[in-house]
Structure 1
Amino acid sequence: MICGIDLGTSTVKVTICRKMEPQFVVASRSEQCAAEILQSPSNCSEQSVWKILCSLKSVLNKIDRDIFQKIEYVAITGQMHGVLCWDAPNISEISPGNNLCAASNLVTWQDQRLTPDFLVNHPQIHPGFGIGTLLFEKYGNRYSIFKGSIWGSIMDFVVYIALGLPQKYHVTTSSQIANSFGYFDPINGRFDVCSLKSMGFPIDTLPTIIPETSVIGETERDNYLNLPEGCKVIVPLGDTQTAFYSVIKQRKDCTVINLGTSCQVGRIAEAKSVEAKTGQALQIFPYFKNCFLILNASMNGGNNLDVFVNGVFLPLLDSFCDTSKIEKEKIVYEALVRSGLRALEKDKLCNSGNVQYTGEMFPERSKCNPLGGNGNQSGATISNLTSTSCDLGQLSLAFHRGIIKNAFAAFEDGWGSPCDLDQVVTVGNIFEKNKLFRAVTENLFPGCSIFNSNSSLGAALFVGDNLDDLS
Structure 2
Amino acid sequence: MEEGSIVLGIDVGTSSVKAVLLEPTSGDVVESETRDTKAGLESESGTQVKEQDVGRIISVLNDCLTALPREKLQKVSRIGVSGQMHGIVFWRTNQGCHWVNSGNLRVFEPREVSQLITWEDGRCSTDFLSSLPSPRSHLNIASGFGCATIFWYLKNRPDFFRQYNTAGTIQDYVVSMLCGLQRPLMSVQNAASWGYFNTRSKTWNIDILQEWGFPVSLLPDILDAGCIAGKTSYDWCGIPQGTEVGVALGDFQCAVYSSAAESTDAVLNISTSAQLTFSMPAGFQPEDHPSPAEAVTYFPYFKDQYLAVAASLNGGNVFVSFVTMLAQWMTELGFETSDSNIYSKVINAALFVNETQFTICPTLFGERHAPDCLASVSNMTSTGLSLGHVTRALCRGIIENLHAMLPSHRLKESGIKRIIGSGNALARNAVLKQEVERIFPFPVVYGKDVDSAVGAAMLMVKQ
TM range (shorter): 0.7 to 0.9
Alignment check: 8 A CA contact 2:362 2:401 kept: yes
Which residue among 221, 224, 239 is the counterpart of 1:211?
A: 224
Listed as ranges, the matches of 1:72-471 within 5 Å are: 72-87=77-92, 89=95, 91-92=97-98, 102-122=112-132, 123-124=134-135, 125-138=141-154, 141-142=157-158, 144=160, 147-163=163-179, 165=180, 169-223=182-236, 227-249=239-261, 251-270=262-281, 272-275=283-286, 280-314=294-328, 316-317=330-331, 320-321=335-336, 328-343=338-353, 347=354, 352-368=355-371, 374=372, 377=373, 379-412=374-407, 418=413, 422-445=417-440, 446-450=442-446, 451-464=448-461, 466-467=462-463
The CA distance in 1 between the partners of 2:239 and 2:233, in whole Å, is 8
Secondary structure of residue in 1 paired with 2:163: coil
The CA distance in 2 between the partners of 1:399 and 1:417, in whole Å, is 26
The CA distance in 1 between the partners of 2:155 and 2:99, in whole Å, is 26
After superposition, the Cα gap between the structure-2 partners of 1:100 and 1:236, relative to the gap in structure 1 and judged at 3 Å, is closer
Q: Deviations over 1:274-311 (max 9, x none)?
A: 33797722212110011001111211111111222223
The CA distance in 2 between the partners of 1:146 and 1:420, in whole Å, is 52
After superposition, the Cα gap between the structure-2 partners of 1:11 and 1:90, relative to the gap in structure 1 and judged at 3 Å, is closer
Secondary structure of residue in 2 paired with 1:367: coil
Identify the residue that residue 53 of structure 1 maps to in structure 2. Answer: 58
The CA distance in 2 between the partners of 1:385 and 1:27, in whole Å, is 49
Structure 1 residue 360, shift from structure 2 partner: 1.0
Alignment check: 8 A CA contact 1:174 1:209 kept: yes
Secondary structure of residue in 1 paired with 2:322: helix
- Indicate yes or no: 2:38 matched with 1:34: yes
Moved more, 305-314 or 85-94: 85-94
Alignment check: 8 A CA contact 2:87 2:118 kept: yes
After superposition, the Cα gap between the structure-2 partners of 1:145 and 1:31, relative to the gap in structure 1 and judged at 3 Å, is farther
After superposition, the Cα gap between the structure-2 partners of 1:100 and 1:208, relative to the gap in structure 1 and judged at 3 Å, is closer
Structure 1 residue 138, shift from structure 2 partner: 4.2
Aligned residues: percent identity?
Answer: 29
Secondary structure of residue in 1 paired with 2:121: coil
Secondary structure of residue in 2 paired with 1:365: coil
Alignment check: 8 A CA contact 1:156 1:236 kept: yes
After superposition, the Cα gap between the structure-2 partners of 1:241 and 1:395, relative to the gap in structure 1 and judged at 3 Å, is same
After superposition, the Cα gap between the structure-2 partners of 1:448 and 1:139, relative to the gap in structure 1 and judged at 3 Å, is same
Amino acid across the alignment from 1:4: G
After superposition, the Cα gap between the structure-2 partners of 1:221 and 1:187, relative to the gap in structure 1 and judged at 3 Å, is closer
The CA distance in 2 between the partners of 1:336 and 1:68, in whole Å, is 43
Structure 1 residue 420, shift from structure 2 partner: 5.1
Alignment check: 8 A CA contact 1:260 1:302 kept: yes
Structure 1 residue 101, shift from structure 2 partner: 5.3
Structure 1 residue 62, shift from structure 2 partner: 2.5
The CA distance in 2 between the partners of 1:159 and 1:391, in whole Å, is 50
The CA distance in 1 between the partners of 2:421 and 2:157, in whole Å, is 44
After superposition, the Cα gap between the structure-2 partners of 1:274 and 1:55, relative to the gap in structure 1 and judged at 3 Å, is same
Which residue among 10, 28, 31 is the counterpart of 1:5?
A: 10
After superposition, the Cα gap between the structure-2 partners of 1:198 and 1:297, relative to the gap in structure 1 and judged at 3 Å, is same
The CA distance in 1 between the partners of 2:408 and 2:418, in whole Å, is 18
Alignment check: 8 A CA contact 2:54 2:110 kept: no
Q: Deviations over 1:206-245 (max 9, x none)?
A: 211112221122224444x553433211100001111111
TM-score calculated relative to the size of structure 1 = 0.84
The CA distance in 1 between the partners of 2:244 and 2:111, in whole Å, is 28
Structure 1 residue 142, shift from structure 2 partner: 4.3
Structure 1 residue 57, shift from structure 2 partner: 1.9
After superposition, the Cα gap between the structure-2 partners of 1:192 and 1:413, relative to the gap in structure 1 and judged at 3 Å, is farther
The CA distance in 1 between the partners of 2:8 and 2:331, in whole Å, is 39
TM-score calculated relative to the size of structure 2 = 0.86
Secondary structure of residue in 1 paired with 2:407: helix
Question: What RMSD, in angstroms, separates the aligned Cα atoms of the two structures?
Answer: 2.8
Secondary structure of residue in 2 paired with 1:114: coil
Moved more, 304-313 or 73-82: 304-313
After superposition, the Cα gap between the structure-2 partners of 1:314 and 1:458, relative to the gap in structure 1 and judged at 3 Å, is farther
Q: Which runs of 5+ in 2 are unaligned?
A: 1-5, 101-108, 136-140
- Indicate yes or no: 2:41 matched with 1:44: no
Alignment check: 8 A CA contact 2:166 2:219 kept: no
Secondary structure of residue in 2 paired with 1:92: strand
After superposition, the Cα gap between the structure-2 partners of 1:148 and 1:130, relative to the gap in structure 1 and judged at 3 Å, is same
Amino acid across the alignment from 1:28: S
After superposition, the Cα gap between the structure-2 partners of 1:312 and 1:188, relative to the gap in structure 1 and judged at 3 Å, is farther
The CA distance in 2 between the partners of 1:333 and 1:90, in whole Å, is 41
Amino acid across the alignment from 2:458: L
Alignment check: 8 A CA contact 2:260 2:266 kept: no
Alignment check: 8 A CA contact 1:282 1:414 kept: no
